[in-house]
Amino acid sequence: MAKERLTLAVAIATAGRRDILTQTVAFMNNQKRKPNEFLICPARADDVDLEGLRNCNGEVRIVEGSIGSSHQRNAMIGASKADVMVFFDDDFLPSASYLAEVEALFAGDPRVMVATGHVIEDGALGPGLELEQGQAILAGDRFQGPFSVSPTFNGYGCNMAIRLEPARRYGIRFDENLPLYAWLEDVDFSRQMAAHGIVVHATQLRGVHLGTKKAGRSPGRRLGYSQIANRIYIQRKGNLNFFQTWDGNLRNFSANLIKSFSPEPWVDRRGRLSGNLLAFRDLVTGRLDPRKILDL
C-alpha cells in the first residue's frame, strides 16, 4: 500500500562553495512543503558558514563525513530517518513546488526508487550562472504541463530523490571507490536502485542548476582521469554496458582533444586531456583504478 504521508530529507554535499551554499539554503525557504530534515555534509568544516545558516528559516543539521561526494552522500543517508531523501547540489535552485511534488510522486507509486527532475537551464554546460540569473530563469518558468513521468536510465545528481527503505534494506550506497567529485556516482547508484523498482524523470520536478565554476570541482587532470576510469569501473560492475561506456569515453576524449586547441575560459581542457591519456595508459597496462586520482 502506498504511504499517505512521507517524511522528506533534503541533503546537500558541499565542498569549497561556502557563500553559494548559504544563498542556496536561504533560497530553499521558498518550498511550499517544508522538509522534515535538512542535512548538509561539508568536505571541510570551513565549507559551511554556520552563522549565515542560522539566518535561514528552519533547522539545518551538519553531518560529518569523509571528503568526496560519495562519502558525503552516504554519511547523510546514514544520518537520516526519512522515507525519501532529495539530493540537491549546493548550487541548485528548486521550484517552490519541488518537495510537494516529490512527496506526491513517491506516495502515489511505491515502485519509484529514484526520481530526477527537469533542469530548466543547466549552467554546468557553459560558464555557469549567477544566483540572480538562476532566480530570474526560475521565476520566468511558465510551463504548466501536462507534466509527465517517464522511465529513465539514471538520476542526475544535482536534483535526485531516492526512496531510503530499499537503500537501507539492501545496503545500497554510493560507491566510495569513486573518490572526490565521484564522476558518475549518480549513474552507479541509480542502477543499483533500479533492481528493486523504477527510475523516473518527472517534469513536475523543476529547477535551475547554476553550475558554479568558482570552486568545488576536481582539477582538470583528476576529472579527466575520472571521465575514463569511472565509466570502465562501473561497466565492470555491470551498471553500464559496453556501448554506454565507450560512447561516453570517446565523446569526452574527443571534446577535450579538439577544444584543447582553443579551450573555454571556464574549462581546463588540457588538464582533462592529460587525465584522459593517463587513464588510457593505465587501462592498457592493467593499472586502471578510479582511486588513482588521489595521487594526481
pLDDT of residue 1: 37
pLDDT of residue 142: 85
Q: Looking at beta carbons, which pairs linking 153-156 to residues 24 or more positions away fall under 8 Å?
A: 153/187, 153/190, 153/191, 153/199, 154/114, 154/116, 154/186, 154/187, 154/190, 154/191, 154/199, 155/114, 155/115, 155/116, 155/186, 155/189, 155/190, 155/199, 156/116, 156/119, 156/186
State mean pLDDT over 283-287: 97
Tell me: pLDDT of 190 over 60: yes
Clarify whether residues 199 and 241 are in a common domain: no
pLDDT in tens, 73-123: 999 999 999 999 999 999 999 999 999 999 999 999 999 999 999 999 999
Indicate the pairing of strand 92-94 with strand 8-14: unpaired
Give residue 236's domain range. 220-295
pLDDT in tens, 220-277: 999 999 999 999 999 999 999 999 999 999 999 999 999 999 999 889 999 999 999 9
pLDDT of residue 217: 57
pLDDT in tens, 2-25: 445 899 999 999 999 999 999 999
Range picked from 13-22, 59-68, 139-148, 231-240 for highest mean pLDDT: 231-240
The conformation of residue 30, written as its DSSP 8-state character, comes to: G
Instruction: Answer with the one of 181, 209, 237 that is the final residue of a domain.
Output: 209
Instruction: Answer with the one of 166, 181, 209 that is the final residue of a domain.
Output: 209
CA 246/CA 197 separation, integer angstroms? 27
- Judge whether 72 lies within some domain: yes
Tell me: pLDDT of 132 over 80: yes
Clarify whether residues 42 and 122 are in a common domain: yes
Provide the 10 A C-beta neighbour count for residue 122: 17
- Contact call for residues 270 and 220 (beta carbons, < 8 A): yes
Whole-prediction pTM value? 0.93
Instruction: Answer with the one of 151, 180, 209 that is the final residue of a domain.
Output: 209
